[in-house]
Structure 1
């Protein structure tokens, strides 16, 4: 299973996990959970995304304070689990 994690947008970024296996999109993952937090803070936000379209699971964020953030996507599908991590900034 492959998960490509991308973040787009500045003030209200959209966090996307593109989930595929053997080059085919995975639309029925067992779990896609986004966990994110502002660098230096202990409080983490977690949101589970139930549905994907063409293997893409999207979280639209809002009300994020300016600063650097870290996001981990917890993805379980077809007996596999992966947790890609990425950093992003909000201006």
Structure 2
């Protein structure tokens, strides 16, 4: 009887420890949502737009057709076209080449079984550096995030949105034209 109790006790301890290990393994796995976020960029009014007049930059963020109300971060990176080729005042480039390199490395990592699905952005802005203006958008509801801005000088400007939400990061550059 004593031997049987000891065997049952040892078996119980082994089962409890195995169950704890399964819970720890589940906690160590990163959460990757099944569906990526989708981001649509726009301006209101549409460009070309007169210099000195207010312009609203916006993104609509959705996942599986539903508006994302809980984005971690929505930023607009803005720079003039003529600063792209020559660098800005401090001699830094616009970061677009770094963005492409970073996005490519993120996709390569995913092919090795890490991070988010290839082609759907990357999970964070780690390693992405820029000296351009990074302006935070305000949440307006229904997955809409916006920023009102005016451009003092005519020219071509680049706007790259940076959206981090639900385990994904998406960033795409757009061109807008400001006229006199």
Provide the TM-score with structure 2 as the length reference.
Answer: 0.47
1:60 and 2:145 matched: no
Q: Decide which structure has the larger Cα Rg and report it.
A: 2
Q: Which runs of 5+ in 1 are unaligned?
A: none
Aligned pair in 2 of structure 1 residues 69, 21: CA closer, same or farther (>3 Å)?
A: same
Provide the TM-score with structure 1 as the length reference.
Answer: 0.90
1:2-81 matches, within 5 Å, as 2-9=38-45, 10-11=49-50, 12-41=54-83, 42=88, 44-81=132-169
The number of residues matched between the two structures is 91
* Shift of residue 44, structure 1, vs aligned partner: 2.0
Helix, strand or coil at the partner of 2:141: coil
What is the RMSD of the two structures over their aligned residues, measured on CA atoms?
1.5
Q: Which runs of 5+ in 2 are unaligned?
A: 1-36, 89-130
Q: Which has the higher helix share?
A: 2
Whether the 8 Å CA contact 1:3–1:19 is kept in 2: the answer is yes
Deviations 1:16-59 (A, max 9, x none): 11100000000110000110111112262211124241111111
* Shift of residue 8, structure 1, vs aligned partner: 2.7
Deviations 1:55-90 (A, max 9, x none): 111111124310000000000000000002110101
Whether the 8 Å CA contact 2:151–2:178 is kept in 1: the answer is no
